[in-house]
């Protein structure tokens, strides 16, 4: 089974977190699901540099104050992933969506109503316990 290493940004601004909705995907189980933005780590790239690059590419946002939050290991039907997640800050509140359908800023306690990708659920749970 294919294994990928990815990074995700939990971008916080004034007590709320940026949540983005994935576009249509060939895998129904992640198509249109909500997630924390991020992407694949390229060869010879640190997780932090990958995250800064991915957020710039996907959302045209600058992030800073990257603090490790949690690593999630998840197995989907067609692939496995290791997702290194960082709590970040941004002064920008309006992302430019290049790959996602929608975005919303949510407090940790209000995130449960979104239809999350399964790999992102442990991150939601972690944020709820920290709030």
- Please classify residue 70 by burial: count the beta carbons closer than 10 Å to its beta carbon, then call 0-12 exposed, 13-18 middle and 19+ buried: middle
Is residue 51 within a helix (H) or strand (E), and if so which, with residue range? helix 47-59
* pLDDT at site 5: 95
Is residue 130 within a helix (H) or strand (E), and if so which, with residue range? helix 121-130
The structure's pTM equals: 0.94
Distance, in Å, from the CA atom of 35 to the CA atom of 3, rounded to the nearest integer, reads 19
* pLDDT at site 131: 84
- Please classify residue 64 by burial: count the beta carbons closer than 10 Å to its beta carbon, then call 0-12 exposed, 13-18 middle and 19+ buried: exposed
From the list 109, 118, 114, 103, the residue with the least C-alpha distance to 11 is 103
CATH architecture of the domain 2-130 equals Alpha-Beta Complex (3.90)
Q: Find all residues with CB under 8 Å of 49, minimum gap 6, and list them.
A: none
Strand intervals (E) in the chain? 2-13, 16-22, 34-35, 38-40, 64-75, 79-89, 100-106
Q: How do the pLDDT tens digits run along the chain, 131 residues long? A: 999 999 999 999 999 999 999 999 998 999 999 999 999 999 999 999 999 999 999 999 999 999 999 999 999 999 999 999 999 999 999 999 999 999 999 999 999 999 999 999 999 999 999 98
């Amino acid at each position: 089974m294919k294994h990928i290493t990815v990074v995700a940004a939990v971008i916080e601004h004034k007590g709320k977190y940026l949540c983005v909705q994935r576009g249509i995907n060939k895998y129904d189980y992640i198509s249109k699901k909500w997630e924390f933005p991020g992407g694949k780590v390229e060869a010879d790239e640190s997780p932090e540099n990958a995250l800064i690059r991915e957020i710039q590419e996907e959302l045209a946002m600058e992030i800073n104050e990257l603090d490790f939050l949690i690593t999630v290991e998840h197995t989907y039907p067609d692939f496995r992933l290791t997702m290194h997640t960082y709590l970040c800050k941004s002064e920008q509140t309006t992302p430019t969506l290049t790959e996602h359908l929608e975005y919303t800023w949510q407090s940790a306690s209000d995130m449960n109503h979104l239809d999350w990708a399964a790999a992102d659920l442990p991150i939601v749970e972690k944020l709820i316990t920290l709030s």
